[in-house]
């Protein structure tokens, strides 16, 4: 069992942390790859946890990234098949007050709000989406902005992520990072302060104005 993490607020990634949208993401990128004749066996893994514009620029720099992002966004907004809350998401969010949590997602704001609604999860007071930052993860700007809008210092927050890019963004914001093995295996989650299988495998305990987070099940 890892040492407990102490924090005054929690900054959540969305997809792969609170919401399971993996099938939608992978379907969308597969359709896009066929449409644009992009051959990259690691495309889905490259797309997880990053803004679409950065993935497009990475794998197809010859294309008009803005145009491709519009197509990708429209495709995801038309597909919610299989979107659901991940284990433990409801109970963890129910334990937090409005000024104690935020979401920082690499997707668009409308998509995030729609996925939260489909999954039956609340929309936070502070939601930082792709259009709110100039550079996406692994840049720390999203997490720094979320902490600021909540009225907290990022170094006093815990970031909960599921991708290497997200972990690095949290570290660069000087936050503690809890990584979940929902999208990548444990060996890929380098740099996290704690690793758990899902939110169902952590214990959140309020201590005055702060929280402690413990992992209660060993990750294989």
The residue annotated as part of the active site, out of 15, 20, 139, 215, is 15
The two three-digit tokens of residue 31, written as one number: 């359709």
DSSP run (H or E) holding 84: strand 84-85
Note if 13 is an active site residue.
Answer: yes
DSSP output for 180-218: ETTSS-GGG-TT-SEEESSGGGEEEEEETTEEEEEE-S-
Choosing from 13, 162, 201, 215, the catalytic residue is: 13
64 is catalytic: no
| Helix (H) or strand (E) run with residue 9 in it | strand 9-12
Nearest to 100 by CA among 214, 215, 204, 17: 204
The Cα–Cα gap between 9 and 183 comes to 24
Taking CA atoms, 135 is separated from 54, 70, 141, 200, in Å, by: 9, 17, 7, 31
Residues taking part in catalysis: 13, 15
């Amino acid at each position: 069992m890892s040492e407990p993490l102490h924090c005054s607020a929690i900054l959540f990634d969305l997809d792969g942390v609170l919401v399971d949208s993996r099938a939608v993401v992978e379907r969308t990128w597969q359709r896009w790859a066929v449409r644009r004749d992009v051959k990259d066996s690691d495309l889905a893994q490259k797309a997880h946890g990053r803004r679409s514009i950065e993935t497009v620029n990475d794998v197809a720099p010859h294309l008009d990234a803005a145009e491709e992002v519009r197509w990708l966004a429209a495709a995801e907004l038309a597909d919610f098949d299989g979107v659901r809350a991940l284990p433990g998401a409801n109970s963890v969010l129910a334990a937090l007050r409005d000024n104690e949590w935020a979401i920082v997602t690499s997707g668009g704001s409308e998509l995030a709000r729609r996925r939260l609604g489909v999954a039956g999860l609340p929309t936070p007071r502070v939601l930082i989406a792709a259009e709110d930052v100039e550079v996406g993860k692994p840049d720390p700007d999203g997490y720094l902005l979320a902490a600021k809008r909540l009225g907290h210092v990022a170094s006093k927050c815990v970031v909960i992520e599921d991708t290497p890019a997200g972990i690095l963004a949290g570290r660069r914001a000087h936050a503690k990072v809890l990584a979940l093995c929902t999208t990548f295996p444990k060996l890929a989650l380098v740099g996290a302060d704690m690793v758990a299988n899902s939110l169902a495998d952590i214990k959140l305990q309020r201590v005055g104005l702060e929280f402690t987070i413990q992992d209660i099940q060993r990750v294989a």
